[in-house]
């Protein structure tokens, strides 16, 4: 007997990584994680020092692999506590870097000032030798205290046959110190021109690198603002109702089915359903709508929203990681840790960067030692030290992830939830936006506006039978018919042998009579003449109403006219899309005349109507074949294939789970303005990434030749190692600061 096959069950692990100092470390950790059996994907974010791992593998094996690569890791489980722990660790790290800077700077500053003033004694004198040996020992103490982590990190990498930024710093400053101490102890062992100590350079570089890292850490802390705000929406406690008693408990202890009281002004702790009481609830965090929503018994409530006027008791239906807010936080976090295609170039470069720099440093040393002027040893040391210091690829490693973190967070502020970096990048490259009609351009809450009957049928009879048939359907038009029948007080008959006919309508048997309800094509396929009501159907469609044909026992019975009103902001949002240079297309299964009428109202010129769900993906493919980069916006099950086929799928937040799962971007607020916001933020983020990458590449591309002394033969100028240290430190700070400019970005909303 053949066993049924099942898809592998993947788990997701988020790890905090310590010990990373540059982009090369990212490549080393990712390689180590991907080498673990069972790992499907591993992405490391240098900006927040975390790893996101997907696969069928326990966290302990992942941590072991990271440690084997020369780093350390810990699993992050609870988002709230993890974020708090990360912030506390960042603050402690920042304070430690500041202390390191102050200690190293306290020695470096007077040494530099004294050297510039010409107050330092010569090495060849007895007093000078004592001074410089003492200075060397003080420098060593400062280097151990302020720069010890560079040397331990370099040693750890050496043991694992790796090299990173710590390697470059340790080699550079260590070589400067050893050479200087050699000269101080044995000044006559080197030519007089080479009798120079570089203690102040070594300690100054360590001070500057620590200062740059501190500034970077401070600026980097701002990038997590979106996550902190989202986490802040969730209260810490809930008021649990047990019989006649009520008590406050941590929300972590709540289970499905728990009864919870919410008083005026309190945040709703988890998702649930009201069982007693009523109130108004501010749902702006989900919908963006400023007006509160009236809630009463049987209505759903969402964790993180704010109760306003009344008190109510609700039953918890989703708790912990299953709540809407938790899913939003997880979505934002996942996107922040992902990499767009544009960032992979930096990863590939970084993987070979440090070894390349070491080779360049060796070649520089050999060139100056063999062909440089006297004192060759001194020139060799200065140029080699400068190459090692200026070449640190920190800025390169931060260029992409820091912008992604800020951009995704900014999008979340506007209710745009981006699944991954690839979707973020592709959204900025879109040339065509394809819009579903129902629930996307329109409200998705259609209503019956008229009933037109064929000879021999009464309006009530047609309405009642149509409602009975549509009771078996989940289509928005079916729901409109059902709601209207109930509003009229009609008794809804039971349906037998119900069948939904995709793109056409439905069929069934009611009270022994065969029923059909749907578009004209459905009736024609069953050999039913719809011509008697054709003119009425065309008139309704021209007014933007959808005609639903009803047939009873193979006879045309009537038409139900259904209107789905436009969303108030659809026209303005579509105008924004056109202003962004996008071609806007309407794609719907609805009647052609109805689709054209809707399109005319919102300013859309290209319309594909009466398209079956299975054919929607083909329309997308056709547009792509013409060279368009297509974004599909939809909300229903019938949109899922098209959402998946598009270059970027954008699902309306109020749509089905299948649609949302098929999309790379979810518009939580259900407004088309979210599409324009997503594209505008994507373009701004991509522009920011390009600025960072260009800056980082130019810095290293120009800095390394200058450090190696390419200008010396023509100008006699060499780059000072201390200037190299300052430039290296400031490059990372500049990248992070540039990324943080996105926090002030505001997508422009223009109303019609």
Catalytically annotated residues = 436
Beta-bridge partners for 599: none
CB 570 within 8 A of CB 602: yes
What would the two tokens of residue 269 be?
Answer: 């702790």
Q: What are phi and psi of 626, to 5 degrees?
A: -80, 0
Beta strand 312-318 with 648-652 is unpaired
CB 638 within 8 A of CB 500: no
The span from the CA of 207 to the CA of 726, in Å, is 9
The span from the CA of 465 to the CA of 483, in Å, is 13
The span from the CA of 467 to the CA of 476, in Å, is 13
The span from the CA of 303 to the CA of 311, in Å, is 15
Beta strand 245-250 with 72-76 is unpaired
Instruction: Map residue 27 onto helix, strand or coil.
Output: helix
Which residues does 232 contact at the CB level (< 8 Å), separation at least 6? none
Q: H or E stretch including 166?
A: helix 165-185
The 3-state secondary structure of 481-548 reads HHHHHHHCCCCCCCCEEEEEECCCEEEEEECCEEEEEECHHHHHHCCCCCHHHHHHHHHHHHCCEEEE
The span from the CA of 666 to the CA of 653, in Å, is 6
For tokens 């990458």, name the residue: 693
The span from the CA of 301 to the CA of 287, in Å, is 13
The span from the CA of 120 to the CA of 114, in Å, is 6
Q: In sequence order, what DSSP letters do the residues of 97-112 get, joined into one string?
A: HHHHHHHHHHHHHHHH
C-alpha closest to that of 132 among 193, 197, 176: 197
The span from the CA of 252 to the CA of 241, in Å, is 16
Beta-bridge partners for 648: 631
The span from the CA of 390 to the CA of 169, in Å, is 9
What would the two tokens of residue 566 be?
Answer: 């436009």
From the CB of residue 65, how many other CB atoms can be counted at a distance below 10 Å?
Answer: 22
CB 689 within 8 A of CB 343: yes
Where would I find the H helices in 186-323?
199-220, 225-232, 284-287
The span from the CA of 480 to the CA of 227, in Å, is 39
Q: What are phi and psi of 383, to 5 degrees?
A: -70, -40
Read off the DSSP letter of residue 264: T
């Amino acid at each position: 007997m053949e066993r049924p096959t099942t898809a592998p069950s993947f788990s997701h692990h988020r790890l905090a990584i310590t010990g990373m100092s540059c982009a090369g470390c990212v490549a080393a950790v990712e390689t180590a994680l991907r080498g673990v059996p069972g790992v499907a994907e591993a992405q490391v974010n240098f900006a927040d020092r975390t790893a996101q791992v997907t696969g069928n593998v326990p966290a302990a094996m992942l941590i072991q692999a990271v440690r084997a690569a020369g780093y350390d890791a810990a699993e992050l489980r609870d988002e709230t506590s993890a974020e708090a722990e990360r912030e506390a660790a960042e603050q402690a790290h920042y304070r430690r870097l500041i202390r390191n800077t102050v200690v190293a700077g306290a020695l470096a500053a007077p040494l530099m000032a004294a050297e510039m003033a010409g107050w330092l004694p010569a090495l060849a004198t007895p007093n000078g030798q004592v001074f410089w040996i003492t200075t060397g020992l003080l420098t060593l103490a400062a280097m151990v205290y302020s720069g010890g982590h560079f040397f331990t990190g370099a040693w750890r990498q050496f043991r694992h046959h790796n090299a990173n930024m710590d390697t470059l710093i340790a080699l550079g400053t260590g070589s400067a110190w050893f050479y200087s101490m050699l000269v101080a102890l044995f000044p006559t062992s080197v030519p007089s021109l080479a009798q120079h100590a570089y203690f102040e350079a070594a300690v100054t570089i360590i001070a500057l690198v620590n200062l740059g890292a501190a500034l970077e850490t401070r600026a980097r802390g701002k990038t997590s603002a979106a996550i902190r705000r989202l986490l802040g929406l969730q209260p810490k406690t809930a008021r649990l109702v047990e019989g006649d008693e009520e008590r406050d408990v941590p929300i972590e202890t709540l289970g499905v089915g728990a009864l919870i009281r919410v008083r005026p002004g309190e945040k709703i702790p988890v998702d649930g359903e009201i069982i007693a009481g009523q109130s108004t609830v501010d749902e702006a965090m989900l919908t963006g709508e400023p007006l509160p929503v009236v809630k009463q018994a049987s209505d759903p409530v969402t964790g993180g929203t704010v109760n306003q006027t009344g008190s109510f008791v609700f039953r918890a239906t989703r708790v912990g990681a299953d709540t809407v807010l938790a899913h939003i936080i997880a979505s934002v976090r996942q996107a922040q840790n992902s990499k767009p295609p544009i960032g992979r170039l930096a990863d590939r470069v970084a993987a070979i960067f440090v070894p390349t720099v070491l080779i360049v440093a060796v070649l520089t040393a050999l060139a100056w030692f063999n062909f440089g002027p006297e004192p060759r040893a001194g020139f060799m040391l200065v140029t080699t030290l400068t190459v090692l210091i200026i070449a640190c690829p920190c800025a390169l490693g931060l260029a992409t992830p820091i912008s992604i973190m800020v951009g995704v967070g900014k999008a979340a502020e506007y209710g745009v939830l981006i699944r991954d970096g690839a979707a973020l990048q592709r959204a900025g490259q879109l040339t065509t936006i394809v819009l579903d009609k129902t629930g996307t351009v329109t409200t998705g809450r259609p209503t019956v506006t008229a009933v037109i009957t064929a000879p021999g049928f009464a309006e009530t009879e047609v309405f009642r039978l149509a409602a009975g048939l549509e009771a078996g359907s989940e289509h928005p038009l079916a729901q409109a018919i059902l709601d209207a029948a109930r509003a009229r007080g009609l008794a809804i008959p039971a349906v037998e042998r119900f069948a939904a006919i995709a793109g056409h309508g439905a069929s069934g048997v009611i009270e022994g009579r065969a029923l059909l309800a749907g578009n004209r094509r459905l009736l024609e396929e069953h050999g039913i003449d719809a011509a008697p009501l054709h003119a009425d159907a065309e008139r309704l469609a021209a007014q933007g109403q959808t005609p639903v044909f009803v047939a009873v026992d193979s006879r045309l019975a009537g038409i139900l006219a259904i209107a789905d009103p436009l969303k108030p902001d659809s026209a303005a949002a579509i105008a924004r899309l056109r202003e962004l240079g996008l071609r806007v297309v309407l794609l719907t299964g609805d009647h052609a005349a109805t689709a054209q009428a809707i399109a005319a109202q919102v300013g859309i010129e290209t319309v594909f109507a009466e398209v079956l769900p299975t054919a929607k993906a083909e329309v997308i493919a056709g547009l792509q074949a013409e060279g368009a980069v297509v974004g599909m916006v939809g909300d229903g099950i019938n949109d899922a294939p098209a959402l998946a086929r598009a270059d970027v799928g954008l699902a309306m937040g109020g749509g089905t789970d299948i649609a949302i799962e098929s999309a790379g971007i979810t518009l939580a607020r259900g407004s088309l303005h979210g599409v324009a916001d997503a594209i505008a933020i994507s373009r701004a983020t991509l522009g920011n990434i390009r600025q960072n990458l260009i800056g980082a590449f130019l810095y290293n591309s120009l800095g390394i030749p200058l450090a190696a002394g390419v200008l010396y033969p023509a100008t006699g100028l060499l780059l000072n190692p201390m200037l190299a240290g300052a430039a290296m430190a400031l490059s990372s700070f500049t990248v992070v600061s540039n990324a943080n400019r996105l926090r002030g970005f505001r997508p422009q909303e223009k109303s019609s």
